[in-house]
Amino acid sequence: MPSNAPPIIQAVHPLAETRLFKIEGLDLRFSNGVEVRFERLKGGGNGAVIVAALTEEGAFVMIREYACGTERYELGLPKGRIDDGESPIEAAGRELMEEAGFAARRLTQLNELTMAPTYSGQRTHLVLAESLYPARLPGDEPEPLEVSFLPMADLDDLAASGDCSEARSLAAMFLVRGHLQRREREETQ
C-alpha cells in the first residue's frame, strides 16, 4: 500500500526541449526504498485555459480547428496558453475573443484539469463564461476558426458521437453541467 508521502526527487535530468515543451528524467526514491527513473513532459510557461462559454439559451460555444496531433479538424471549446502576467480569468477572456469572437460579462474559474498526470505536468484551468456579447481580438490561428453552438441537452450525444475527441473539452462541459445543476439547486432552496 502506498504511503501518503510522495517519493523524493533525487535528481532532474533535462532530456529534450522545444518551443513549447521540456522532457525531463526524474530519479525518484519511494518510501519503500525502491529507486526508479520516470520521464515527464513539462508544459512551458504558465499553463493553459479552457473556456466553457454559454449562450443565454444554454448552448456551449464550440470551435473547430486543425489539430496536428490527430491530423484532423477537431471540435472543442476555446482554449490556449496563459501569457506572462495574465491570470487564468484574463487569459480565458482573451482566448474567447480571439477564437470565438465573444466576450463575457461573467467569468468564473471552476477547476484545474490535467491530461495525463503520470507523465505530464500540464495544467489547464477551466473557466465558465456567461453573459456573452460579440467582441473579437486578432488571434494566432493560421486560419479562421469555425464557431458552432452545442445545446447542453445534446452533450451526452456529442460525447458518444466521436465528433469531439478532445478529453479536456468533454470533461469541462460535463463539469460545467454539474456546476450549473448544483447552482440551480442552491438558488431554489
The pLDDT-based confidence of 4 (bands split at 50, 70, 90) is confident
Q: Grid coordinates 450549473 are at which residue?
A: 180
User: Do residues 75 and 138 share a domain?
Assistant: yes
User: Do residues 39 and 79 share a domain?
Assistant: no
Q: Residue 126: which of 158, 91, 85 has the closest Cα?
A: 91
33: left (phi over 0), alpha (psi -120 to 50) or beta: left
H-helix or E-strand containing 141?
none
User: Do residues 123 and 32 share a domain?
Assistant: no
The residue segments making up the domain with residue 21 are 8-43
Number of domains in the chain: 2
pLDDT at 2: 61
Please count the other Cβ atoms lying within 10 Å of the Cβ belonging to residue 149: 14
Cβ(98)–Cβ(138) below 8 Å: yes
Mean pLDDT, rounded, for 122-127? 93
pLDDT at 45 over 80: no
Sorted by sequence, the CB contacts under 8 Å of residue 89 that are 6+ apart come out as: 107, 109, 127
pLDDT at 156: 94
User: Do residues 154 and 172 share a domain?
Assistant: yes
pLDDT at 62: 98
pLDDT at 105 over 90: yes
User: Do residues 21 and 66 share a domain?
Assistant: no
Mean pLDDT, rounded, for 11-18? 92
Q: Does 100 map to a domain? A: yes
Q: Does 165 map to a domain? A: yes
Q: Residue 135: which of 160, 161, 99 has the closest Cα?
A: 99
Q: How does the average pLDDT of the chain come out, rounded? A: 92
Q: Does 1 map to a domain? A: no
Q: Does 114 map to a domain? A: yes
pLDDT at 3: 66
Q: Does 2 map to a domain? A: no
pLDDT at 165 over 70: yes
